[in-house]
Homo-oligomer: A and B are copies of this chain.
Amino acid sequence: MLFHVTITVRMPHEVDPNKVKQLRERERERAADLQPQGKCLHLWRVAGKSANVSIFDVESPAELHEVLESLPLYPYMDVEVAALCRHPGLIRATD
């Protein structure tokens, strides 16, 4: 099932820059893992913000929570989740 996830990263300025760099690298690796597994169907960055929008395809809310909690930057994330359905106006399922 599909979920629309908006993630805003709020990194406190006191966090050590090296730690931030490491966290961001590990975050990128984790995101790269999730894509071939088909968990993360889409991923976009919002222009001008430390935020992204993604579409997750998971078995359950529990799996969604597990995936999000596994992200290295999770402790610094503000996450908004919306459950999605197929739109009746869609002429051809693309996801």
Contacts and interface: CB of A to CB of B under 8 A. Distances in A.
Interface residues of A, number: 52
B62 A94 contact: no
Majority secondary structure of chain A interface residues (helix, strand, loop or mixed): mixed
B13 A45 contact: no
Interface of A: 1-5, 11-15, 27-28, 31-32, 35-36, 41-49, 52-53, 55, 60-62, 64-65, 68, 75-76, 79-92, 94-95
20 contacts: A1-B1, A2-B61, A3-B47, A4-B44, A12-B13, A13-B15, A27-B89, A31-B90, A32-B89, A35-B90, A35-B92, A44-B84, A44-B85, A45-B87, A47-B62, A47-B82, A53-B82, A53-B84, A60-B85, A61-B85
